[in-house]
Structures are given as C-alpha cells and as structure tokens.
Amino acid sequence: MASAHTTEIELVRYPQPAPSPEADLPSQGEDGVFSLPPTDGGKDAWLLLFSCFMLEGIIWGFGSSYGIFQEYYSTHEPFAGSSNIAVGIMYIWIIPMFVLLKIYPRLRIWAAPVGLTIMCLALGLGSLATNVTHLIISQGIMYAVGGGLAWTPILFYIEEWWVLRRGFAYGATMAGLGLSGAIMPIVLRWLLDSYGFRTTLRVCALSVVALNLPVLFFFKPRLPLSQTTQFREFDMSFWTCSNFLIFQSGNILQGLGYFLPAIYLPSFARSLGASNLQSTATIILLNGSACIGSFCMGAAVDRFAVVNCIGITTLGSAVTVFLLWGLSTSLASLYVFCLLYGAFAGSNSSSWSAIMRDTKEKRRGADTGKQAEVQAGTPLEFPEQLDTASARTVERMIFACLSAGKGVANLCSGPLSEALLRAGSWRAGFAYGSGYGALVAFTGATALLSGWSYAAKKIGWF
C-alpha cells in the first residue's frame, strides 16, 4: 500500500483520508523521473509549515495585541476619550482574496509580498494619524486588505503540502498567532511608553519586512502552475448542509465574545491596581496559552470527532469566564483565567480543518453536483472520487466562510461591548460589580452557547 509520501507514478489506491488526485500530479525532474516533493514531511513541507507559522504570527499577531493599543489610545492624545477605536475586517477579507487567487492562480506567488507591502504602508500611514477615522482607515481597513491578501495563499499551500496530517498543519500554523501574541505585547508596551504610537507603528512596519522576507523563500506551492490553472465554478451548496450551518452558528457565537477579553483585560487589570507591565502580562498569558491550545486542537481533530473537541473547549472557556474572571479580585486569579481561557478559547479556529472535512463528507460531492451519479442520488463507489480539485476548492471556501463568520462577529462585538460597559456596575461582588460585569457575563454566555453543536449531535441533528 502506497503512502502519501509516494513520489513516483504508481497505480495505487491511497489509504483514508486519501490525498486528492491534484495533490499528487507529477512533474518531470532533470533525470527524466516524474516526481514531486513528499507530502506530510520532508524538508520542503516543514519549511513551508514554518513559513506559514511565521506569516500567521506577524499578520494576525498585531491584531491580537490590539488591547495594548486600545488602552494607549483611550488615554493619550489625540485619541483620548474616543470610542470605536478597535475595528478590524481581516477575517471577512479572506473570502474576496480567496476568490481572486482561485480564479487567477498566477497571482498566488505575488500575494504574500504585495500584501505585506500594503501592511507596511498601513502601519506607516497610521503613524501619521491625528484622529480615530485615520486609525480606522489605516490600522483597520488598509491593514486588513494587506493582511488578508498576504495570508490567503496559506489555504492553497497547506492543502498541497499536508494531506494526512492537515489538522496538525493548520493547528501549527495558527499557533504562530499565539506565540507572537505572547511576545508582541511586551515590545509594543515598551515602545509605546518610551517613544509614543508614531514611532511604534513605524518600527512595526519595518519589522513586518525584516521578519517575513526570509521566510518568503520557503513559502511556495508544491504543484506546478500548469496543474492549478484550471478554474472550476464556485459551489456554495454547503450552505444548505445542516452540519455547516450548525458549526457556523457556533463559530459566530464564539466570535461575539472571544475578542473582548483580549481588548479589555489590560484595562480591567488596571482597575485592580496593576502596573503597565502587569496589565500587559494578561495579553501575554492569553496568547501564549493559545499557542499551546492550537497545537493540541490541531492534533486532536485529526484523531477525534470535531464535535467532541469543540464541546470540551467551549465548556472550558465558559467555566473559566464565569468562575475565574467573574470572581477575580486579584491579579493572581486573573492570570490563571488568562492561561486557561487562552488555551480553551484560543484553539477554536484550529478545528476549522475538521469542519471542512466533515462538511464535505456530509455533502458527498457538494462540488461535483454535475456528476450524474450525484445528481441521481447514487452513492459514489469510492471515497477517493470525492477528493477532486473542485472538492478542495469547496473546502477552502468553507474555511473562508468560517473566517468571515468570525469577522462579522468581531465587528459586531465592538458596539456590543461598548453598550455592555455603559450598562454600569451590577449590585454584585467580585468582577461582576466592577463595571465589567455585563461584559463578563456576555463573554461567558457566548462561549457556552458556541458549543451547541455538541447538543445538536446528541439530539440527532447531524
């Protein structure tokens, strides 16, 4: 039985989960032997994964540390007292970028360098901002456009280089966000306190180039361009799949509350008497534990049912919010909350690869609806028939839609959080009576409800 590492042409049937035929199309080497670099291992696959890890960390790490900027902007001129500072649309921007790169595959190799250049310009222009509108245009919209363009090729390259261990690959990639989110707050806090936001943003712009330029040499496709130029129409029929709708609704619910701790924990720590460094430690612990959680979730969904994995993480997230954050009266208990909440809630996106897989298996040919067998309702003879280039396009679109769902939730959570803060203090003890009570309760409730897919499975809706 051939493995996914087969590099020469052989007429074999791959073990499940089988790599797609497109993933093993051969190219001819100088010695005349048709071969491709191996998947799921080997120098090139690991270097590609490392470059994905780095890009994830730089692109998304800046946004995950926005709580540091939020606190600074709200207390320093010319932005002091302004609302709606935090804004981001990068999650949503993944969909148009995916469509663009799918229709024009020749652009994929240029997407990362062009996107990183736009990010640098956005940070540079942000350093010239004199009001909140300038920040929204530069750090919000323009940075999101560049970041989305630079990140989207990861969807194509991981699918080509990692087949049997795809969940692990996505988890390892997203762990980059956790690691950078643990390091960047320290650097950003020091820069902001020492030099102000203008110099800080310019240093960030230069860092984007310095840290990502070396890894771009390894960020490359596995398949020859000739095997990726055939465009197939987009099939969105997975939106009629009950599995996807249940997972997507849980994903949106989780996103409504997920981003709030990262934004408001530094300010909440300040209310407990924390210093600048102590308040920054909340973001460091939150993102650092998310790095570990992403690795664990990525490995888990390759072995266990994704519904069970999501159920465990959502229950853990809700319990930590209600009991640890809600009852916090000291920095020690708040730090424990950051560690546990980051590990549970921060791993949610690493389950998306399994959601893609389960939705495709449920639909059984959502992308091949034109085939007579599927139209007639006849089951396909071999599961391998599902692993076509079109099927993988649908999988990537599912990922993009999950990302967009989280992005919509992110945009909605901003105005919601401001309304919750204006609700005032509750007549309760601990954090519930600190002015953040409504915010804590909302975060915990959305975390708990986001795992309703587990209940849906028990009811039999899957």
Could you give the angle at which helices 43-64 and 143-151 cross, rounded to 10 degrees? 160
Confidence of residue 343 (pLDDT cuts 50, 70, 90): very high
What homologous superfamily does CATH list for 43-222+240-365+388-459?
Answer: MFS general substrate transporter like domains (1.20.1250.20)
pLDDT value of residue 2: 40
What are the boundaries of each domain within the chain?
Answer: 43-222+240-365+388-459
Q: How far is CA 354 from the centre of its chain?
A: 14
The string of pLDDT tens digits covering residues 421-433 is: 887 667 677 788 8
Please, are residues 148 and 90 in contact by the beta-carbon 8 Å criterion? yes
Per-residue pLDDT of 397-440, as tens digits, reads 888 899 888 888 888 887 888 888 887 667 677 788 888 888 99
pLDDT at 407: 84
Average pLDDT over residues 224-237: 66
Residue appearing with tokens 């005032």: 424
How confident is the model over 93-101, as a mean pLDDT? 87
Choice among 118-132, 158-172, 367-381 with the minimum mean pLDDT:
367-381
Taking only the tens place, the pLDDT of each residue in 245-262 is 999 999 999 999 998 888
Name the residue with tokens 């008497």: 273
